[in-house]
Amino acid sequence: MTAIPTDPTANPAAEPGRLAGRLIAVGVTGSIAAYKAADLVRRLRDEGADVVVLMTSSAIRFVGEMTFAALTRHPVESDVGGLLPDQRIGHIVVADSADAIVVAPATAHWLAAMAAGLSGDSVTATCLATTAPVIVAPAMDGDMYAHPATQANRTRLRDDFGYTIVEPDAGPLASGQSGRGRLAETGEIVDAVVAAIGASPIRASDPAARPPLVDEPREADLEGRHVVVSAGGTAEPIDPVRFITNRSSGRMGVALADAALARGARVTLVAGHVSVPLPQGPAVQVVHAARTSDLGEAVRAAMRDADVLVMAAAVADFRPRAIADRKLNRDAGLTLELEPTEDILAAIGADVAALPSGARRPYLVGFAAETGSLDRAADKLRRKGVDLLVANDVAEEGSGFGTDTNHVWILSADGDQVDLPLRSKRAVADEIFDRVVRALDDRDVAAQTDRVTQEKQA
Q: How far apart are CA 112 and CA 134, in angstroms?
A: 16
Q: Does 392 bind ligand CTP (CB under 6 A)?
A: no
Looking at beta carbons only, is 186 or 234 nearer to ligand CTP? 234
Q: Does 367 bind ligand CTP (CB under 6 A)?
A: yes
**Which of 368, 388, 394, 432 is the binder for ligand CTP (CB under 6 A)?**
368
| Minimum distance of ligand CTP from residue 315's CB (angstroms) | 4
Q: Name the β-bridge partners of 428.
A: none
Q: Does 317 bind ligand CTP (CB under 6 A)?
A: yes
Classify burial at 414, counting beta carbons within 10 Å of its beta carbon; exposed 0-12, middle 13-18, buried 19 or more: exposed
Q: Name the β-bridge partners of 309.
A: 228, 364
| Minimum distance of ligand CTP from residue 390's CB (angstroms) | 8
| Minimum distance of ligand CTP from residue 297's CB (angstroms) | 13
Q: Contact at 8 Å (CB) between 52 and 74?
A: yes
Number of H helices, E strands in the chain: 14, 19
Looking at beta carbons only, is 142 or 349 nearer to ligand CTP? 349
Q: What DSSP assignment string belongs to 25-43?
A: EEEE-SSGGGGHHHHHHHH
Taking contact as CB under 6 A, which single stretch among the options 47-55, 263-271, 366-374, 412-420 is the one that binds ligand CTP?
A: 366-374
Q: Please provide the distance, in angstroms rounded to a whole number, between the alpha carbons at the two ends of the chain.
A: 48
Q: How far apart are CA 27 and CA 63, in angstroms?
A: 13
**Which of 369, 378, 413, 422 is the binder for ligand CTP (CB under 6 A)?**
369
**Residues assigned a catalytic role:** 246
Q: Does 378 bind ligand CTP (CB under 6 A)?
A: no
Taking contact as CB under 6 A, which single stretch among the options 76-84, 321-329, 337-345, 393-401 is the one that binds ligand CTP?
A: 337-345
| Minimum distance of ligand CTP from residue 317's CB (angstroms) | 5
Q: Does 311 bind ligand CTP (CB under 6 A)?
A: yes
| Minimum distance of ligand CTP from residue 436's CB (angstroms) | 14
Distance of CA 217 to the CA centre of its chain: 12
| Minimum distance of ligand CTP from residue 311's CB (angstroms) | 4
Q: Which of 375, 367, 376 is nearest to 399 (CA)?
A: 367
Q: Is 422 helix (H, G, I), strand (E, B) or coil?
A: strand
Q: Does 274 bind ligand CTP (CB under 6 A)?
A: no
- How many residues in the shown chain lie near ligand CTP by CB under 6 A? 14
Looking at beta carbons only, is 143 or 343 nearer to ligand CTP? 343
Looking at beta carbons only, is 41 or 227 nearer to ligand CTP? 227
141-to-63, 148, 316 alpha-carbon distances in Å: 19, 14, 68
Classify burial at 125, counting beta carbons within 10 Å of its beta carbon; exposed 0-12, middle 13-18, buried 19 or more: buried
Q: How far apart are CA 76 and CA 407, in angstroms?
A: 34
Residues making contact with ligand CTP (CB under 6 A): 292, 311, 313, 315, 317, 341, 343-345, 366-369, 384
